[in-house]
Amino acid sequence: MSDISLADLRLLEAILQEGSFRGAAQRLDLPPSTLSRRVSGLERRLGLRMFRRTTRSLSPTPEGLGFLGRVLPALRDIEAAVRGAAEARDVPGGLLRINGTEPGFRLLMPAVRTFLELHPQVELDLVIDGLLSDIVAGGFDAGLRLAEAVPQDMVAVPVGPAQRFVVVGAPGYLARRGRPAVPGDLAAHDCIRSRLPSGRVLAWEFAVAGRPLSLAVTGRLTLGSTDLACQAAREGLGLAYVNDSSAAADLASGALEELLCDWCPPFEGLRLYYPRHRVGSATLSAFVACLRRQPRAE
């Protein structure tokens, strides 16, 4: 029998989910060359080629996909059994997997630090995914989403303050093109659009006196990164619609100016959410306790 460990299976799972050695190496905090050598060693021990690799792409072979399709559900069962054993002792332990976005995990980091310091026997896996995946089907213990996107049958815990999206533009651009007074004025402007990980283009949402307004703005530039949207706005390429925390430094320095302020009210922020059957988990409960102890800025 081949000597295959749980760590080996998690390594293969990370490559399958990330779709590249580089992405998996970043997630596992390993050099790509080390990851490649470990996979080659696993393939030799299994007598099975797991992935088809070229200079531009990586995909599982049919044999590799069949193998992973059989062992990954078993991996979930083993991890659940380890968690269950720890929870039976009412002691946090084992692996805790959380699904979310990179900006959300930034807000979570103070609680992560406290949690890992208090519970050295726990392993935490934060998986970046902006596709709003089903956390139960994906084998996650919890997820991180905006409050409005949390399924109603889940337990939800607030993370961080309320959030607010703002429209921003560079002083030079505004001097050339003028300042929009109402959302309808955006039709006469170059709007820098944002594409979500799902592929959907983000609508610009506004509200006044409790009345919502959603605009599908037009523009020649579409980006998949908030940081790039802010940079493009600084360069005078158009107006951007971004989270106010992402634009805070540029607004403070004067590199960007906020527009349509009265039309951009705050909304409920992020929530850590999990299925009700996980309420009794000692490990998840310990993490939630750390999260609740973190101050929430207003």
* Residue-by-residue DSSP string for the chain: -----HHHHHHHHHHHHHSSHHHHHHHHT--HHHHHHHHHHHHHHHTS--EEE-SS-EEE-HHHHHHHHHHHHHHHHHHHHHHHHHHHTT---EEEEEEE-HHHHHHHHHHHHHHHHH-TTEEEEEEE--S---TTTTT-SEEEEEGGGS-TTEEEEEESS-B-EEEEE-HHHHHHH---SSGGGGGGS-EEEEB-TTSPBPPEEEEETTEEEEE----S-EES-HHHHHHHHHTTS-EEEEEHHHHHHHHHHTSSEEE-GGG---B--EEEEEEGGGTT-HHHHHHHHHHHHS----
Which is nearest to 34 in space by CA: 43, 21, 53, 46? 21
Q: Is-contact 226 130, C-beta < 8 A?
A: no
Asked if residues 207 and 215 have their Cβ atoms less than 8 Å apart, the reply is no
Amino acid 223: pLDDT: 95
Q: Which residue has the higher pLDDT, 3 or 69?
A: 69
Indicate the class that CATH gives domain 1-81.
mainly alpha
Non-local CB neighbours of 210 within 8 Å, separated by 6+ positions? none
**Picking from 90-94, 136-140, 148-152, 199-203, which range would have the lowest pLDDT averaged per residue?**
90-94
Residue 86 scores a pLDDT above 70: no
pLDDT for res 1: 44
Query: What is the C-alpha separation between 110 and 32, in angstroms, rounded?
Result: 28
Q: What is the pLDDT of residue 277?
A: 81
Classified as helix, coil or strand, 215 is strand
Running DSSP on this structure, what letter comes out for residue 190? -
- CATH T-level topology, domain 165-263: D-Maltodextrin-Binding Protein; domain 2 (3.40.190)
Within the chain, which residue ranges are assigned CATH 3.40.190.10?
A: 90-160+269-298, 165-263
Residue-level pLDDT at 249: 95
Q: Is 0.85 topped by the overall pTM?
A: no
Q: What CATH topology corresponds to 90-160+269-298?
A: D-Maltodextrin-Binding Protein; domain 2 (3.40.190)
What percent of the chain clears pLDDT 70, i.e. is strictly above it? 96
Give me the mean pLDDT over the 239-259 stretch: 95
Domain with CATH 1.10.10.10 in the chain: 1-81
Which residue is listed with tokens 């692996």? 95
pLDDT, mean of residues 219-238: 95
- Of 18-22, 89-93, 100-104, 199-203, least confident by mean pLDDT is 89-93
**H/E element, 225:** none
Neighbours of 235 (CB within 10 A): 12
Percent share of the chain, pLDDT over 90: 42
Mean pLDDT for the chain overall: 87
pLDDT tens, residue by residue, 6-43: 788 888 888 888 888 888 888 777 788 888 888 888 88
Q: What is the pLDDT averaged over residues 168-182?
A: 97
Q: Counting every residue, how long is the chain? A: 298
Neighbours of 171 (CB within 10 A): 13
